[in-house]
Structure 1
Amino acid sequence: MTAALYTQTRPRVGVAQTAGVREKLRLVTTGPEADAAPQVSLANVLDALLIRVAGGDQVAFSELYDHIAPRVLGLVKRVLVDHAQSEEVTQEVFLEVWQNAQKFEAGKGTATTWVLTMAHRRAIDRVRASQAGRDRDLKIGIRDFDERVDNVQETVEIRIEHERVKRAFVRLSELQREAVSLAYYGGYSHSEISNLLGVPIGTVKTRLRDGMIRLRDELGVRT
C-alpha cells in the first residue's frame, strides 16, 4: 500500500513545488541551520506538507503518508482489531486526506491530530456499520469516571439496545462523543486520549465526565 494509490484523482504537479519542504527536513537534521532545529518541529513540517497536499502536491502527500500511515493503521486496528478491515479503512482515510486536505486549518490543530481524528471517526463508522441491523444489547464500560463533587471514581455499566445508544450519542457534543468513543471503542487511557487529541488530561476527563453524565440522563440510568 503506497501513497501513489490515492493521487490519481488530483492533477500532477512538479517536484519543484515541494522543494521547500524537503529542504526544511534536510536542514533540520544535517544542514547549517541544525542549531535552530527545535524551532522547526516535526509537527510544523507535517503541517507544511499537508498544506502542500491541499494544492495537489503528490510528493508532499507521499512524505506525509510515510510519516503518518503507521500511526493511522495502528489507531484503526485498535478499534477494529481485524487487520484486513483496518487496512481498508486506512486506505479510505488517506483518500479522504488527499481529497479534502484544503479543509485543514493549521490554527485549529496539527496535521497529525487532524488525520488521526479522521481515522478514528472512520473506524467508528465502520464499527457502527457492522452493527447496523443488529437488534442486540450493547454494553458500554466507562473507565475511571471522576466525580469532582465527591472525588469518588465509579464505573457505570449500561446495557441497552443499540438504537437507543445511538440516539443518546447524537445528543452529546462532538467533543464529548470523540472522548467517549476513544475511551470505549478504542480502549484508550486518559493520557493516550490526551496525546491523540492534543489537549490536557484534565480536559479529557471533563469531556468524559460530562459526556457520561449526559448519556446517563438520556438513557435513564440511575447512579
Structure 2
Amino acid sequence: MDTPNTPGPPVFEAAGPATDLNSQLSGLLELIAAGDQQAFADFYRLTSRRVFGMARRVLIDPELSEDASQEVFMQVWQGAAKFDRGAGTPLAWLMTIAHRRAIDRVRAVQAATDREARYGASSQDPDRDVVAEEAGTNLEAEAVVRCLGTLTETQQESVRLAYYGGLTYREVAERLGAAVPTIKSRIRDGLLRLKTCLGVG
C-alpha cells in the first residue's frame, strides 16, 4: 500500500477515558491495516501527543523527538496488522514502539557523537588523550587530585564528567545545563591547566 503523508507536528488534543480510547484505537488499527488513510489520520490525532511526550522524555531534543515520532507513525501505518489485541492494549503497543524508536535514536546519536569525538581527539584535539593517559597511567592519584583542585568549579565538573564519568560533550552539556561550545571551552581550558600543573608537555 502507498504510504500516507504523515501529519505535521503533534496535535495537543484531549482524549476520552483510556478504555474508550483503546477501544477506538483498536478499530482504527483494523482500518489502517486495510489501508484506510483517514483512519490513520484519526489515529495520529488521538495519539500524537502521547507519542511525542514519550520521545521527548527520552531524547530531550524537540527536533529529534519529532523525527522519532514520525518514525513511530510510519511503523504504525506499515505494521498495523501486526497488532495483537490479546497481547495488550493499543496504547501499550504504541508506547512500546515509541520507546524503542526513541532509544534507537539515542543510540544512533551516541554512536555519531562517539565517532566525532574519536576523530576530533586523534586529529584536532590531542590534549584529551594526552592528559587522560598521563593522569591515568603515569602520574600518582594524589597529584591528579591536587591539580584538579586548581581548576574552577565549573571546569572541575566538566572535566570529571568527561574523563572520569565517560560522558560525551553533549551529555556533559545536558547534565550541567550549558551549551556544547561552552562545555568544550571549559574542558579545553581545564585541560590546559591540568597539563601545566601535571607537567605534561
Larger radius of gyration: 2
* TM-score grouping bracket, smaller chain normalisation: 0.3 to 0.5
Q: Which has the higher strand share?
A: 1
TM-score after normalising by structure 2: 0.48
TM-score after normalising by structure 1: 0.43
Q: Which has the higher helix share?
A: 2
